[in-house]
Amino acid sequence: MALTALIVVVPEADANATIRKIRLQHVSTAARGVPAHITLLSPFSDSKDVDEPALAALFAGHASFDFILDRVKRWDDGIVWLHPEPSQPFEDLTSAIWQTWPAYPPYEGATDTIIPHLTVSEQPLPLELDLPIRSRADAVTLMQEANDHTWSIRRVFPLG
């Protein structure tokens, strides 16, 4: 089974040398090919079951939008992440995917609360970053995991 994920890539975060270095050292998927991103849904679907035309149609119905990564936050387990503002467009995209494919709930059904975020470190780290980082969400990227656990871009779907 080859997993997939739907993400919004944030190239401006990868362009930040500090964030890129920390992610490569402290985010397991970063060194395996996953760029800095805000996850919409992961895991999504087995790669053989992905309906690309339906995804393209879904995302074409959502407008592009500007956002900023405005602050560093931490979860109780120590994971460090960046908060996108506004967050609502990311929540709307995740909800739309979930409504269309209810077999793939966010966070594998562990919670109904959608919290858009860009993971910087899977371990507790004291961080001072030069924020805000400005970006634009104009596409959703379908990532696919290979048998060797590396990830690659399978397709990019423009937002309407």
The 10s digit of each residue's pLDDT in 125-134 is: 888 899 999 9
pLDDT band for position 53 (cuts 50, 70, 90) = very high
Question: What is the three-class DSSP state of 140?
Answer: strand
The vertex-92 CA angle with 86 and 96, nearest 5°, equals 160
Domains and CATH numbers, the chain: 4-158 (3.90.1140.10)
CA 53 – CA 51 distance, rounded (Å)? 6
Would you call 98 exposed, middle or buried from its count of C-beta atoms within 10 A (0-12, 13-18, 19+)? middle
The vertex-11 CA angle with 73 and 86, nearest 5°, equals 45
pLDDT band for position 1 (cuts 50, 70, 90) = low
Q: Using the Cα atoms of residue 154, residue 33, residue 27 and residue 140 in order, give the sign of their dihedral.
A: negative
The 10s digit of each residue's pLDDT in 68-102 is: 999 999 999 999 999 999 999 999 999 999 999 99
pTM across the whole model? 0.95
